[in-house]
Chains A and B, each alone.
Chain A
């Protein structure tokens, strides 16, 4: 029976190809536009590290001005980065499974002269745990070990792109890269890796390009490396580099992996003890306000999903609604125009149910064609989005979104079809037979 309905529906669509094209195009536009923006929102708000986001925590400690809190709006908020002295102090904890203080900087990288001029590379200074903690994928080699953190050893991990640029993509393990005035040995090369949003450092460029080189954190002091991200301060930070490191300026991100509730409590205890110790020394005079923010809470906190993305979703769904209304109107006209034909069929014994089903199938056929076309349109739409945002985000459809698009199409086909189909099947056949 279904095959028969589909055949009839197809014939009906072919009878008036221009009108059918308009109907299908209308629904395709609705699906295309809404899928584009729903996917955009989905990509901006998705968990960047789903397998671990619940055990990774961002650490905040309140070292701010005793007279004036970090945020005017939220008295409970703690500063969104930590000082160098606190970061290095809490790195001594033995509680977390993994832990790393980190920040980004821009340092001169010197390629072999024939490959081009020196350039400023985006360098992340971090600890050995950074790589296993964030499941960073390696193509060659691996991160450095914890011993290299202490010395620190001149070792470097290259991003895929940097390895392409400096070594033409070959296995460069053991080769040397000159950064500023030191030579670093390559111990690892990453696979292409671009977490978006850049969850581990969102307030220094949520959607900026990935880090290009990674070196041990403890080069901060010997190389006098300053942050390339935001620094906030409330107290005079002195003149010399060492003064800066000891100051109350915050510019470092601190991440830990805590696998169990017990471990989390233990670490919280550790932080509280540390801050109490500092308070006894006269620092951190604000009330105890240490925070461990799970990854997604942290991203929410940082507003990684722009509010505008939500309004675009609302608007695009309303757009789909307009397309559906449009569809109802046109289908109603189209169906009613064939009332005489239906009258004959009813008189010949077709049941109301059969007529109803036949029209619903026709609507769903339109919806499926429109939905598939809509998915194709949304691929185009997402390409436009990616261009508009200059590649900050890679907007791609995934299967979930394709399924959602087809689902939306079927639903709007059904919603749009029920009323016209009901109208046509409930017409009394006699009226139309008389006129013939």
Chain B
């Protein structure tokens, strides 16, 4: 290998090679951090919610007819809607709920074990009908599910909580049969079952996996009636229109809004989705710019050394030798740049993490970045280098 001559060439063209090294190093730093942020946002969006996301629909019935203010009218409407929804072809299950998970709006409160002297622990809570676990597609792992008889007027409720909340409340995680209270010990609630996992209302919240479900007949004239509908796979899109039409047909004194949970989730995560797209765009553009830079620099290197290449060819070097020479040179430069860039990447990450509480840079992503830039760098150099092979040995003699 011609490491010796290459090193001496680099030393004689210090500035230019320093520049390209720095450029590659900075590119790695930026690309590494952008990809790191992309991965971080994607993890946030794609983490399991415990819900049967793909097949869920949120249905909101918003009454405006004064009839709804009459005693019992709203509750009758709720039951009629549930009956209608459950009978629709393509609907697997349906139930009332007080607010939609993942939607960004909902209620929260705090509980602690009955009699405990500690602070209450904040959690999202949803009032819902007895078939809610089926309608959400969440999995019960301990205790029992709701029964019709759990829906009572009594202040003391039987409730379901998530495993994460159970672990937060009780050191041993055993929650079934235990009672919890709010700030005051009146009306404690009894935990009858534990759900494996369920996301609450606010994806930005650190306690997104803390959820309490309590049996209720949720709905009010002001905020309307809300249902979760779980469709047979593949039927979700079709049901959006059908449900709206059917419900309005059944009672025209209200507006009905039907949205898929995927839609709602995309709205809630809109900023993150937008950031993923911006970061991807930035990364692609940056790699493009760097590649163009390498093309340019290599082209100049080649042009500048036309005579040497001709001389070498005249002295018996094959085309392959010329290609190898320039590719090894390119590889050396990019490797130095990438080593430097790894340092830069961590420095930039440190800065960003301090500035905005971002995610720590993952080593595996740096490695991915290094490999990617090696390939890009070699690919970018290939064009000008192949052109170098076309320099004829005769050109060495011509200009002397």
Instruction: Specify the chain A residue showing the minimal Cβ separation from B252.
Output: A117
Instruction: Judge whether A419 and B15 touch: CB under 8 Å.
Output: yes
Bound CA span A22–B293, Å: 9
Instruction: Mark out the residues of chain B between 101 and 145 whose CB falls within 8 Å of any chain A CB in the assembled complex.
Output: 119
Q: B292: which of A110, A326, A384, A390 is its contact (CB, 8 Å)?
A: A326
Per DSSP, chain A at the interface is helix
Instruction: Judge whether B355 and A321 touch: CB under 8 Å.
Output: no
Instruction: Judge whether B278 and A385 touch: CB under 8 Å.
Output: yes
Instruction: Judge whether A226 and B355 touch: CB under 8 Å.
Output: no
B222 close to chain A: CB less than 8 A: yes
> Chain B contacts of A312 at CB under 8 A?
278
CB distance from A14 to the nearest CB of B (A): 18
A319 close to chain B: CB less than 8 A: yes
Q: A328: which of B19, B278, B290 is its contact (CB, 8 Å)?
A: B19
B76 close to chain A: CB less than 8 A: no
Binds A, one of B89-97, B268-276, B312-320: B268-276
Instruction: Judge whether B351 and A333 touch: CB under 8 Å.
Output: no
> Chain A contacts of B20 at CB under 8 A?
329
Instruction: Mark out the residues of chain B between 273 and 301 whose CB falls within 8 Å of any chain A CB in the assembled complex.
Output: 273-275, 277-278, 281-282, 285-286, 288-290, 292-293, 295-297, 299-301
CB distance from B212 to the nearest CB of A (A): 17
Instruction: Judge whether B289 and A68 touch: CB under 8 Å.
Output: no
A379 close to chain B: CB less than 8 A: no
A403 close to chain B: CB less than 8 A: no
Instruction: Mark out the residues of chain A between 260 and 309 whose CB falls within 8 Å of any chain B CB in the assembled complex.
Output: 306-308
Instruction: Mark out the residues of chain B between 342 and 370 whose CB falls within 8 Å of any chain A CB in the assembled complex.
Output: 348, 351-352, 355-358
Asked whether A326 and B64 contact (CB < 8 A) given A33-B285, A337-B304, the answer is no
1/0 per residue A335-362: CB within 8 Å of B? 0110000000000000000000000000
Instruction: Judge whether B286 and A333 touch: CB under 8 Å.
Output: no
Instruction: Judge whether A310 and B355 touch: CB under 8 Å.
Output: yes
Asked whether A332 and B30 contact (CB < 8 A) given A315-B282, A388-B277, the answer is no
> Chain A contacts of B339 at CB under 8 A?
none
Q: B355: which of A26, A314, A329, A384 is its contact (CB, 8 Å)?
A: A314
Q: A333: which of B183, B271, B300, B352 is its contact (CB, 8 Å)?
A: B300
> Chain B contacts of A118 at CB under 8 A?
64, 255
Instruction: Judge whether A26 and B289 touch: CB under 8 Å.
Output: yes
Binds A, one of B21-29, B158-166, B233-241, B371-379: B21-29
B66 close to chain A: CB less than 8 A: yes
A181 close to chain B: CB less than 8 A: yes
Bound CA span A23–B295, Å: 12
Bound CA span A307–B358, Å: 9
> Chain B contacts of A390 at CB under 8 A?
270
Instruction: Specify the chain A residue showing the minimal Cβ separation from B26.
Output: A322
> Size class of B's contact patch?
35 or more
B303 close to chain A: CB less than 8 A: yes
Asked whether A318 and B270 contact (CB < 8 A) given A311-B352, A311-B355, the answer is no
Bound CA span A307–B285, Å: 23
A411 close to chain B: CB less than 8 A: no
Bound CA span A385–B274, Å: 8
Instruction: Judge whether A319 and B30 touch: CB under 8 Å.
Output: yes
Instruction: Specify the chain B residue showing the minimal Cβ separation from A119.
Output: B255
B33 close to chain A: CB less than 8 A: yes
A323 close to chain B: CB less than 8 A: yes
Instruction: Judge whether A315 and B30 touch: CB under 8 Å.
Output: yes
Bound CA span A30–B22, Å: 16
Q: A337: which of B64, B270, B300 is its contact (CB, 8 Å)?
A: B300
Bound CA span A311–B34, Å: 10
> Chain A contacts of B37 at CB under 8 A?
311
Q: A29: which of B30, B119, B273, B289 is its contact (CB, 8 Å)?
A: B289
> Chain B contacts of A26 at CB under 8 A?
289, 292-293
> Chain A contacts of B293 at CB under 8 A?
26, 322, 325-326, 329-330
Give the residue among A25, A110, A325, A336 with the most B Cβ atoms within 10 A. A325
A316 close to chain B: CB less than 8 A: yes
Instruction: Judge whether B296 and A315 touch: CB under 8 Å.
Output: no
Q: B275: which of A19, A308, A314 is its contact (CB, 8 Å)?
A: A308
Instruction: Specify the chain B residue showing the minimal Cβ separation from A389.
Output: B274
Bound CA span A335–B186, Å: 84
> Chain A contacts of B304 at CB under 8 A?
333, 336-337
Instruction: Specify the chain B residue showing the minimal Cβ separation from A40.
Output: B278
Instruction: Specify the chain B residue showing the minimal Cβ separation from A232.
Output: B108
Instruction: Judge whether B30 and A307 touch: CB under 8 Å.
Output: no
Q: B26: which of A120, A325, A389 is its contact (CB, 8 Å)?
A: A325
B77 close to chain A: CB less than 8 A: no
Instruction: Judge whether B352 and A322 touch: CB under 8 Å.
Output: no
A70 close to chain B: CB less than 8 A: no
19 A-B interface contacts by CB (under 8 A):
A22-B295, A25-B292, A68-B119, A118-B255, A226-B223, A307-B355, A308-B275, A314-B355, A315-B282, A322-B23, A325-B293, A326-B296, A329-B16, A329-B20, A333-B300, A336-B300, A337-B303, A337-B304, A388-B274
Beyond A333-B299, A337-B300, A389-B274, 17 additional contacts (C-beta under 8 Å) are: A25-B292, A119-B255, A308-B356, A314-B348, A314-B351, A318-B26, A319-B285, A322-B26, A323-B289, A325-B293, A326-B23, A326-B290, A329-B16, A329-B23, A333-B301, A419-B15, A423-B15
| In the complex, the 5 A-B pairs of residues with the closest C-beta atoms, listed nearest first | A333-B300, A307-B356, A388-B274, A326-B293, A329-B19
